[in-house]
Amino acid sequence: MTRATLWSLDLSLVDDPAFFTGEEVAVHGLCDLVSYVVRVDSYVAKTYSPATDPAGHGWTGALQGMSVAVESPASPPPPSLPQPAPPPPAQSPRPQPSVVLPGEDGGDDGVAALSPRAPPPSPSARSPPMPPPPPPEPTRFTMLAVAVSLCGLQPAVRPDTLKGLLLGPARTTLQSYAVAISSGRAYLDPADVTVAPGVVDIPCSGFSSGGPWASSSCRPLDQQGWAEYVVAAVAARWGLAQGRYQRVVLALPPGNPCGPVSWASQSCAPEFFGWPLSRCYVLWTATGTFWPYWNIMHEMLHNTGLFHSIRANSSDPYGDSSCIMGSGYNTCLNVAQMQRLGWAEPLAALDEPALPPNTWRRFTLPALSTALANHIRISPGWLAPAALSNPNLGALYVSYRVRAAAGCDGGLDDRHHGLVQLHAYVDTLPLTSPWRGNVTVLMATVGPGQLWPPAADRSLPPGPSVSNLHLALRVVSRTPLTDAVPRVTLELCRYTLITECV
Ligand SMILES: [Zn+2]
């Protein structure tokens, strides 16, 4: 089997190179007579062949940091990739742990009060020693940012204002938020964050490599057309070097057909460096008075291949309101996505042997936004053959969320403030799933004095769902939420009978 990146696939194997770059559908029309494997990073997301894809010569799926392996014929060599990013600015030292105090009330639906006769934790229930953390691999964001008019609609921000929002002197810049949301492991490189010195006027219609586009609608084809037009205009007017940037960011005028939302392409994860800059865009309606830096980051993280964070038992595609990849408003990412990006490290990593049945294990976690090592990662091997049980495909993540002025959780609301979260993360899903690619699901929110799930909500058939993970979680206590580093003490227990772990 030889491997090609999608760059070479685009040249040699794609009969229909019309990419629909949007939030839900990022690529359409991949086809060939050979089978191929689509990978998201190192994870196999889907395998296709004429036999498994009887519809033949076409599928629709997400394009998120994929490289593509083809069985035959030999494919062209992949393009060269960019060099590793330089180290980020120095990080501040992490605060020291504080004393654990008795808990307070709080919590959410779907949890039960703890039994006062709950057994004490096992004396041996301590986190196993973790291997030393890998050296930091900073995420470097670069961009070409352009204020645009659209068919005569004039932008509300000028280039100097746009630059102030990105790098300063705005109170919260995209730069400062990138540092906060990544535990100091991401940054905007000022040397490669360039704001076009003037407004680019996008006409009312045009023709791009994808076909005709208009400024009166906001289809992916239109977005792509605007991006292509702007990149060409910027190069022609100011000669700005395109190859330096990972993405083009367009500040759209109020009243544009996209509405007060933001959009991005998912077809520009690092593997695709070398594609035209216009293939990797972020669009946002800049009002001049409202600065939704978390929305811009949401779209930039789509650029890097992240998908949305949803909530169990909800059809809302943005159901996790504690995460900016859901409907979080000025919050952090969920910890599973932080970990995927290298922005968080586990305090403990548990597998099936580490969680013997009906045995509570106790852990203390700092609030997610206060420490790089901020979560428990669980590989639920007992759920095999579900993808969640495969450590190469997914895991469960336990974290603790506290609203604080410092850090990235300043906008966390009371549905999550001071509570423990359990997220499920998988990097592969069946084609029939409405959620494509990597998906995070908020499975549970648990407060002090509460047990999740209550025995009445448990079931035994295996499989990942909110009610039958066969994993119980209870919150024992938490320190004052106003501490510099608020901490929570929690316990985990795996049950094989619904009468266990109660
Ligand atoms: Zn999105």
Query: Which residue range is the domain that position 429 belongs to?
Result: 309-494
Is-contact 250 284, C-beta < 8 A? yes
**Chain centre distance of CA 372:** 17
Distance 283 CA to ligand 1 centre (A): 12
Q: Of 246, 273, 304, which closes a domain?
A: 304
Domain presence at residue 31: no
Residues 278 and 164 in one domain: yes
Distance 46 CA to ligand 1 centre (A): 21
Distance 271 CA to ligand 1 centre (A): 20
Q: What is the pLDDT of residue 268?
A: 67
Q: What is the pLDDT of residue 135?
A: 54
Distance 4 CA to ligand 1 centre (A): 27
Distance 343 CA to ligand 1 centre (A): 20
Residues 338 and 395 in one domain: yes
Distance 301 CA to ligand 1 centre (A): 9
Residues 209 and 284 in one domain: yes
Distance 458 CA to ligand 1 centre (A): 32
Q: What is the pLDDT of residue 105?
A: 28
Peptide bond between residue 448 and the one before it cis (omega within 30 degrees of 0): no
Distance 262 CA to ligand 1 centre (A): 8
Q: Of 304, 329, 351, which closes a domain?
A: 304
Residues 6+ apart with CB under 8 A from 145: 162, 163, 166, 193, 194, 195, 196, 248, 249, 250, 251
Distance 326 CA to ligand 1 centre (A): 8
**Chain centre distance of CA 488:** 24
Distance 440 CA to ligand 1 centre (A): 13
Domain presence at residue 125: no
Integer Cα distance of 170 and 109 in angstroms: 39
Distance 61 CA to ligand 1 centre (A): 15
Q: What is the pLDDT of residue 279?
A: 84
Total residues belonging to the chain: 502
Based on its alpha-carbon atoms, the radius of gyration of the chain, rounded to whole angstroms, reads 24
Residues 221 and 352 in one domain: no
Distance 371 CA to ligand 1 centre (A): 26
Integer Cα distance of 133 and 399 in angstroms: 18
Residues 166 and 296 in one domain: yes
Number of domains in the chain: 2
Torsion angle, alpha carbons of 207, 212, 218, 224, to 10: -50
Domain presence at residue 74: no
Domain presence at residue 88: no
Tens of pLDDT along the chain (502 residues)?
222 223 222 222 222 232 222 222 223 223 232 334 333 222 223 333 333 443 333 333 333 333 333 322 233 333 332 333 333 333 233 232 222 222 222 233 345 545 333 334 443 334 445 555 555 678 999 999 999 999 999 999 999 999 999 999 888 999 999 999 999 999 999 999 999 999 999 999 999 988 999 999 999 899 999 999 999 999 999 998 777 888 999 999 999 999 988 888 765 655 455 678 888 899 999 998 999 999 999 999 988 778 889 998 888 989 999 999 999 999 999 999 999 889 999 999 999 999 999 999 999 999 999 999 999 999 999 988 888 888 988 899 999 999 999 999 999 999 999 999 999 998 765 444 434 567 799 999 999 999 999 988 887 765 555 458 999 999 999 999 999 999 999 999 999 988 899 9
Q: Of 304, 334, 353, which closes a domain?
A: 304
Distance 297 CA to ligand 1 centre (A): 10
Query: What CATH number does the domain containing 221 carry?
Result: 3.40.390
Domain presence at residue 426: yes
Q: CB within 5 A of ion ligand 1: which residues?
A: 23
Closest CA to 152 of 88, 89, 90, 203: 203
Residues 294 and 392 in one domain: no
Residues 247 and 189 in one domain: yes
Residues 163 and 226 in one domain: yes
Domain presence at residue 216: yes
Residue type, 423: H
Residues 6+ apart with CB under 8 A from 436: 24, 25, 61, 62, 307, 429
Distance 265 CA to ligand 1 centre (A): 9
